[in-house]
Structure 1
Amino acid sequence: MMNALVSQLQTLGHPQRMAVFQLLMRRYPDALPAGEICTVLGLKASTGSDYLSALKSVGLITSQRHATHLHYSIQMTGVEAMAAALLGDCCKGRPDVCSFSTPSALEKTMDPALNVLFVCSANSARSIMAEAILNDIGEDVFTAYSAGSKAGSDINPRVKALLEVKGHDTSKLYSKPLSTFQTTDAPQFDFVFTVCDAAANEACPTWPGQPISAHWGMADPVKATGTQAEINLAFQQAYGVLKNRLTGFVALPMTTLSAISLQREIDQIVRDIPSATKET
């Protein structure tokens, strides 16, 4: 066990191999083609292949073949084993560094509500829809917010129209940058979700309180092409996927699950309710 841990830490000790690992962690449970990984990180194909092989050899990532291409994703059981070996065997399970092992991650934050942040690049469509949906179906348990890594000037007019047809109040919805929530008086978040691949590819800010985070990537309806009916359908589908995922999210027993169990349940939601199509 200790030899495996040493090999994993040595592999992650290289800055660019660590960058590959971090990207795949941010995109989990997505499986990314090697070409996309190299493009995002600015790596040559041969260099990226070497880094991916090294991470796979120590059990931190896995690969699946899609047609003629390999797609890579995090091997979560391997990551969990590494963490257990490091914090359990090596550090003897000290409670001051193993805070994720507490019985419930959220039992002290239930009053008055759990704060949830949805992040995408422009904060004009998917994250705005998620904010509106959760604030309506979350009752008094959740308070939802949204922001963009590269926020534009306003929400997409099709999104606004769709939300109003669905009965959501849009009067307080607007596009805002992530910096809005990085001030000293900003809400402390219990959950942070990225809902677009572009935002998940970027280095995430450090949020106080170590919120549970997940990637719920889905196709951008703003990029839909075709007839007006086909474009409208793309927005309807995006709304439906988000509502179904968030319905499953609010049904989770927040106060009785450990942080690890809660994280697994949240990751499973995106597998059970995939986007109709994925971003490219």
Structure 2
Amino acid sequence: MEITSASRIFSALGHDGRLLVFRLLMRHAPHGVRPTDIAESLGLKQNTLSHYLSDLEAAGLVRSERQGRSIRYAASLKAATSLIGYLFTDCGRGRPELFSSISAAPERVMPQKAYNVLFICSGNSARSIFAEALMRDLGEGSFNAYSAGTRPNTQLNPFALEVLARNGHAVDALRAKHLSEFQTQDAPVMDFVFTVCDKAAAEECPPWPGQPISGHWGLPDPVKATGTDAEKGLVFAQTYAALRRRIEAFASLPIKSLDRISLQQRVDQIGLDDA
């Protein structure tokens, strides 16, 4: 990366608002996000967001693409990689003491064991509960499944429980949990962390110990479905089916034979294939 390109990127990120937008898009990567959803998540006015996105796009940090009638914005992972490489090889001259946590990352992801997987959404009443039950039952003992919400409801959604029971999943032990339960010193160390709603992906969450593989598998909230009970039940069933396809694909991955980059790419692709 040339110093002029790096300077243009630093200038674009040297503003709180633009940095917040870029960080949100990185958390959704490689998926794109609609401007209305970005504005809602960050509490920005549409015209202010338009200026931020224009500046980030001009710096090469963001790309836009049209999907049907809407435009989605996504972070440029190539630009982010180039920037990190510039900081490491040019500014830092590759000094290992400056980037020990990066350079010391093992080639293999993890030894053979039961992997801890956490699914996060806002309410922890439907989507993440679906994912917890599916991972527990489809993982065949290779995964310990957990779920939590950033603002959990007090009770699980009855339509969600009906779908799970109809598909043979035990529901008695399922409950809504706050994310903080998994951020204590005694909490299990996660190997994988997935967000299954856009709001959860945009939440302020501290880094997870152990640098788990993360993925964003966002799905529309079935709780917001309207119509008759039969119509609502159909939306919940469709959400369950979408998560089942993703978790079946994930559970079949040869995790022990993949390095971190390859595994992250597989996790990202699962979300894209069923988007």
TM-score, reference length from structure 1: 0.89
Give yes or no for the alignment of 1:104 onto 2:105: no
Cα deviation, 1:151-191, whole Å, max 9, x if unaligned, reads 11121112112212211111210001011111110011011
Give the Cα separation in 2 of the matches to 1:63 and 1:34: 10
Once structures 1 and 2 are overlaid, which stretch shifts more, 126-135 or 87-96?
87-96
Q: C-alpha displacement at 1:213, in angstroms? A: 1.2
**Residues 16-95 of structure 1: matches in 2 within 5 Å?**
16-66=17-67, 70-91=71-92, 92=94, 94=96
Q: 5 Å matches for 1:129-168?
A: 129-168=130-169
CA contact (8 A) 1:101 1:258 kept: no
* Superposition deviation, residue 114 in structure 1: 0.8
Alignment of 1:262-273 (within 5 A): 262-273=263-274
Pairwise CA distance, 1:150: 0.4
Task: Look up the match of 2:212.
Answer: 211
Following superposition, the deviation at residue 2 of structure 1 comes to 3.5
Count residues in correspondence: 271
Q: Distance in 2 between matches of 1:232 and 1:70?
A: 30
Q: Output the amino acid matched with 1:2.
A: E
Distance change in 2, residues 1:218/1:78 (3 Å): same
2:257 is paired with a residue of what secondary structure? coil
1:176 aligns with 2:180: no
* Cα distance, 1:101 vs structure 2: 5.4
Equivalent residues of 1:28, 1:74 under 8 A apart = yes
Residue pair 2:60, 2:76 contacting (<8 A) in 1 also = yes
State the AA in 1 paired with 2:108: S
Question: Which residue pairs with 2:187 in the alignment?
Answer: 186
What is the one-letter code of the residue matched to 2:256? T
Task: Give the structure 2 partner of residue 2 of structure 1.
Answer: 2
TM-score by length of 2: 0.91
In structure 1, the gaps of 5 or more residues are: 275-280
The 8 Å contact of residues 116 and 145 in structure 2, kept in 1 or not, is answered as: yes
Aligned mates of 1:70, 1:273 — CA distance in 2: 19
How far 1:66 moved relative to its partner? 4.8
Q: Structure 2: which 5+ runs fail to align?
A: none
RMSD: 2.0
Q: Secondary structure at the match of 1:208?
A: coil
> Residue 14 in 1 paired to residue 19 in 2?
no
Q: Is the 8 A contact 2:119 2:195 kept in 1?
A: yes
Q: In 2, are the aligned partners of 1:103 and 1:256 still within 8 Å (CA)?
A: no
Per-residue deviation, 1:19: 0.3
Of all paired residues, the percent bearing the same amino acid is 45
Q: Output one character per residue of 1:219-264: Cα deviation in whole Å (capped at 9) or x when no partner.
A: 1112112233222111111111111001111111212222122111
What amino acid maps onto 1:114 in structure 2? Answer: Y
Q: Per-residue deviation at 1:137?
A: 1.0
Equivalent residues of 2:222, 2:232 under 8 A apart: yes
